[in-house]
């Protein structure tokens, strides 16, 4: 079974092997507003608290930073107590 799969893969031509390199694509693409990743500074200001860059996102970031800092302080204090014993 494995030998059959390997020989079938080895005998097939690589993708694009028969393509003419001088040929151009006739597919037109109008990127307009249908981009997956928007261009920098193409967005809009946050209007509601839940929008990107709004108050809720900043509050969640602050909560995460405070939480990680709290855990770091607790771990630091615990290691100091263990080393004093």
Return the domain boundaries, the chain.
52-85
Residue 76 pLDDT > 80? yes
- Residues, the chain: 85
Predicted TM-score (pTM) above 0.75: no
The H or E element that residue 83 is part of is helix 55-84
Report pLDDT for 1: 54
Between 31 and 70, the higher pLDDT residue: 70
Distance from CA of residue 59 to its chain's centroid?
22
Contacts of 51 (CB under 8 A, 6+ apart): 57
Considering Cα of 48, then 50, then 56, then 61, what sign does the dihedral take? negative
């Amino acid at each position: 079974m494995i030998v059959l799969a390997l020989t079938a893969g080895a005998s097939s031509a690589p993708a694009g092997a028969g393509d003419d390199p001088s040929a151009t694509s006739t597919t037109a693409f109008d990127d307009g507003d249908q981009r997956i990743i928007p261009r920098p500074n193409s967005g809009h200001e946050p209007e509601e608290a839940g929008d990107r860059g709004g108050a809720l996102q900043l509050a969640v970031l602050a909560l995460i930073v405070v939480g990680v800092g709290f855990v770091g302080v607790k771990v630091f204090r615990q290691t100091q107590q263990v080393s004093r014993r």
